[in-house]
Structures are given as structure tokens and as C-alpha cells.
Amino acid sequence: MGSASKVILVGATSLIIGIFAVSLKTIQTNDIKTAMVDTKRVQFEQVQAAAVRSAMYYFVYYGCGNLPLTSKNALGGGTYSYKFENTTSSATDLTVTVSLDGVSRVITARVENTFGLGVNQGPRKMHRGTWQVTKYYVART
């Protein structure tokens, strides 16, 4: 094999390895971007859940009365506001608006009173005192 053939073989091999390395780097970058998007989604879900729990806390704390509608600071630097409507002694409709990083979500929840018969326990169940969230819907705005 002549010198020119060896140079061409080494050049072609280097080109193949370079293309492979660039492709691998692109794949890794896409994996990181996907992980970041998933992380932000999960964090925003947790901020939404914390805002609903906080609104329920104020609802029970103020004796299920007429709560002032105010904007409060949310986790992660966002804000949230809440509103209770159609309140009776057994149920109420809760609307929470959460804004974080320029993205807003409106959460509509049905909160019902168990009258001391026990609330559903679990890490994803939302309750405060004898009140618990029975329905939960998140809408983009």
C-alpha cells in the first residue's frame, strides 16, 4: 500500500470518527434538552399543587368565609391567586391562577367537606382539616 493510500485511509477514518462524535454530541444535547423540559414540567406541577394546598389552608383558616382575593408569591418566583365560589357547608369551587416564568395555568378544583368521616390519604391527595379536593383540572391560558 502506497503512502497516498495510507493518507486517504487515515483521513477517511478520521472523518468517520469525527462525524460519529458530532452525532453523539447532538444526541446528548437533545437528551439534556428533553430532561430540562421534563424537569420544568414537573416543577410547575408541584408549584400548582402547592398553590392549591395554600389556598385550601387559607379557606380552612378563615373559617370557609369570604376570603380576600390577593396575589401571593409562589414557589420558584411565580405568583398565584385564588377564588372560592358557590361555597356551602359541604362543598366549594376553587379557582387558582398560577403564573411562573411567563406561563399561566388556571386550576379548577372541587373541594368537599367530609364532616369528620376521614379524608383520602396519600402523597398526591390534597386535603386540609376535613376538606379535601375531589376533582382537579388544569387549563392553559
Alpha helices in the chain (DSSP H): 3-61
Instruction: Determine how β-strand 131-140 pairs with β-strand 127-128.
Output: antiparallel
Q: How far apart are the C-alpha atoms of 88 and 135, rounded to whole Å? A: 16
Question: What pLDDT is stored for residue 66 in this prediction?
Answer: 60
Nearest of 82, 77, 81, 83 to residue 102 by alpha carbon: 77
pLDDT digits (tens, 9 = 90+) for 59-99: 888 766 566 667 888 877 888 988 888 888 888 888 899 98
- What DSSP assignment string belongs to 16-45? HHHHHHHHHHHHHHHHHHHHHHHHHHHHHH
Question: What pLDDT is stored for residue 68 in this prediction?
Answer: 62
Nearest of 90, 89, 94, 85 to residue 66 by alpha carbon: 85
As given in the structure block, the three cell numbers for residue 102 are: 411567563
pLDDT digits (tens, 9 = 90+) for 20-64: 888 888 888 888 999 999 988 888 888 888 888 888 888 888 766
Estimate to the nearest angstrom the gap between the alpha carbon of 31 and the chain centroid.
20
Q: What's the rounded mean pLDDT across residues 1-26?
A: 81
9 pLDDT band, cuts 50/70/90, is confident
Identity of the amino acid at 25: K
Label residues 15-38 b or e (16+ Cβ within 10 Å = b).
Answer: eeeeeeeeeeeeeeeeeeeeeeee
Q: Which domain holds residue 82?
A: 3-140
- For the chain, the first-to-last Cα distance in angstroms comes to 69
Domain tally, the chain? 1
| 121 has a pLDDT exceeding 80 | no
